[in-house]
Structure 1
Amino acid sequence: MTLEQLRTFLWVARLGGVRKAAEQMNISQPAVSSRISSLETYLGTSLFTRGSTGVRLTKQGVLLRAHAEQIAALVERIKADVMPSETVSTLLRLGVAETIAQTWLPAFLTRLHRTFPKLKIEVSVDISVNMREMLLDRSLDLAIMMGPVSDYSADNLDLPTFQLDWYRPLDMAEPDLSTTPVITYNRNSRPHRELTRELHERYGHTAQIFPTNSLSTGFEMVASGLGVGIFPIALGRRLVEENRIATFDPGWLPTPLRFTATYIGEPRDEFVAEAAQIAQTVAIEHEASIPGIHA
């Protein structure tokens, strides 16, 4: 019985199928099946029952999973305690929201590289609803997103919030929010949902919202006179200083954006957990370096 056999067994048990486990482990399905078969032969018992929708643990499989989870946790603890950080050469699949990508992501990547010089990083910039699905599907290791994720398997580290502000074209002195288009976050985001509700309650259903997947594009839309925008102060300040757009005050602001560094905590990967803690530290340092930007 080997650690690789137990690790493979755990992935099949967690994901409910050989194909999904093979994709997660980046090995072939026959390799997964061979490891499971060898483990069952060694233990002298069946660990799974096969069905049309996947596999399920037998009674003996349930018993083995409890032991295997403890072994896997101990292995992660050993790696965290014993392996020098400069020898870690794993791949970190990182997902980030655009707000983070345009603020403190470079500092975070620099800190990661300094801590783990052999680390390989694969970065995806996406909307939070997509990152949540990718995280739970195990195609991301760490997501810095509008959170938290409430699934039992996810761990969330709170990050500093981002205050929002209203932005207008320079030649639009007093925007009428009942008719002027409001440019903001993607349609499937929490800010879009909250803004839609607030605008309709305050100005009726004549209020218009133009969602965008790109914050940079949103700012350009405001600068070109297509409407007003509600965006993070941390991103809008430079354009205001360049006299390309201006702020205005309609008398209210949406809730600040809440972000989390979220990863799968069950099973726990100590390296990913440490990367999430580094992200939290960098985010707090970024907030402290720009007084008045964040809540």
Structure 2
Amino acid sequence: MTLEQLRTFLWVARLGGVRKAAEQMNISQPAVSARITSLESDLGTALFSRGPTGVTLTKQGVLLRNHAEQIAALVERIKADVMPADSVSSLLRLGVAETVAQTWLPDFIARLHQTFPKLKIEVSVDISFNLRDMLLERSLDLTILMGPVSDFSVDNLDLPPFELSWYRPLDLADPDLSVTPVITYNRNSRPHRELTRELQERYGSTAQIFPTNSLSTGFEMVASGIGVGILPTVLGRRLVAEKRIATFDPGWQPTPLHFTATFIGEPRDELIAQAAKIAQQVAIEHDRGLQTPVPVPA
């Protein structure tokens, strides 16, 4: 019995099939099948019941899974305690929402590289809806998204919120939100859902929302006079300072965006857990920097 056999057994058990396990482990299906067959031969018992839609654990398989999970957790603790950080050479598949990508992501990548110099980082920027699916499909290791993600296998670390502000074109001094388009996050997002409900309750069916997957495009749409926007305050400050757009107050404010550093916690990977904690630390430091008043030159 080897650690690779047990690791392969756990992936097949978790994902319910040889093909999915092979994709997750980046090895061939025959290699996965061979490891399982060898493990069953060593133990002298069948671990899976094969069916048309996948595999399920036998009674002996359930017993082995309990032991294998304890062994896997112990291996992760050993790696975390014994392996020097500068010797870690794994690949971290990171998924990030655009709000974070345009703010503290560079600082996070730099801190990761400083902590794990040999770590390879692959970054995907996408909407939170897609990032969640990719995480649960195990095609991403760590996601920074509008969370939390509710799943028994997932761990969420809370991050400081992003405030949202109202923005208008410079030549639209008093926007009528019953007819003026409101530009905001994509339609599969929490801000879009909350805004839709709020606008309909306050202004009726004539209110319009123009969703966008690109925050940069959203700000440009406001600047060009297409409509007003509910967009991140931290990203709008520069355009306000450049007098390309202006803030305004319609009498109510949107709920701040809640983000989490989210990763698969079962099985737990200590490297990914450490990366999530680093993300949390960098986000907190960035938020504190935003709260610190900038000194005015005498």
Normalised by the size of structure 2, how large is the TM-score?
0.97
Deviation digits for residues 82-117 of structure 1, max 9, x if unmatched?
Answer: 000000000000000000000000000000000000
- C-alpha distance in 1 between matches for 2:133 and 2:48: 26
Deviation digits for residues 110-142 of structure 1, max 9, x if unmatched?
Answer: 000000000001100011111111111111100
Report the equivalent of 2:296: none
Deviation digits for residues 160-185 of structure 1, max 9, x if unmatched?
Answer: 00111000001110000000000000
Report the equivalent of 2:253: 253
Report the equivalent of 2:220: 220
User: How far is 1:254 from its partner?
Assistant: 1.1
Report the equivalent of 2:167: 167
Equivalent AA in structure 1 for residue 8 of structure 2:
T
Report the equivalent of 1:118: 118
Report the equivalent of 2:281: 281
Equivalent AA in structure 1 for residue 86 of structure 2:
E
SS in 2 for 1:205: helix
Moved over 2 A (4+): none
SS in 1 for 2:263: strand
Report the equivalent of 1:157: 157
Deviation digits for residues 8-39 of structure 1, max 9, x if unmatched?
Answer: 00000000000000000000000000000110
Normalised by the size of structure 1, how large is the TM-score?
0.98
Whether 1:44 and 2:48 are equivalent positions in the alignment is no
- C-alpha distance in 2 between matches for 1:165 and 1:132: 26
Equivalent AA in structure 2 for residue 33 of structure 1:
S
User: How far is 1:43 from its partner?
Assistant: 0.4
For these two proteins, the number of residue pairs brought into alignment is 293
Q: Mind listing any 5+ residue stretches in structure 1 that lack a counterpart?
A: none
Deviation digits for residues 59-101 of structure 1, max 9, x if unmatched?
Answer: 0000000000000000000000000000000000000000000
SS in 2 for 1:188: coil
Deviation digits for residues 265-293 of structure 1, max 9, x if unmatched?
Answer: 11100110000000000000000011179
- C-alpha distance in 2 between matches for 1:287 and 1:129: 24
- C-alpha distance in 2 between matches for 1:6 and 1:34: 12
Report the equivalent of 2:180: 180
SS in 2 for 1:281: helix
SS in 2 for 1:148: coil
SS in 1 for 2:206: coil
Deviation digits for residues 187-243 of structure 1, max 9, x if unmatched?
Answer: 000000000000000000100000000000000000000000000101100110111
- C-alpha distance in 2 between matches for 1:273 and 1:121: 15
SS in 1 for 2:291: coil
- C-alpha distance in 2 between matches for 1:221 and 1:62: 56
Report the equivalent of 2:146: 146
Report the equivalent of 2:33: 33
RMSD between aligned residues: 0.8
SS in 1 for 2:49: strand
- C-alpha distance in 2 between matches for 1:164 and 1:95: 22
- C-alpha distance in 2 between matches for 1:236 and 1:33: 54
1:258-273 map, 5 Å:
258-273=258-273
Report the equivalent of 2:9: 9
1:39-78 map, 5 Å:
39-78=39-78
SS in 1 for 2:256: coil
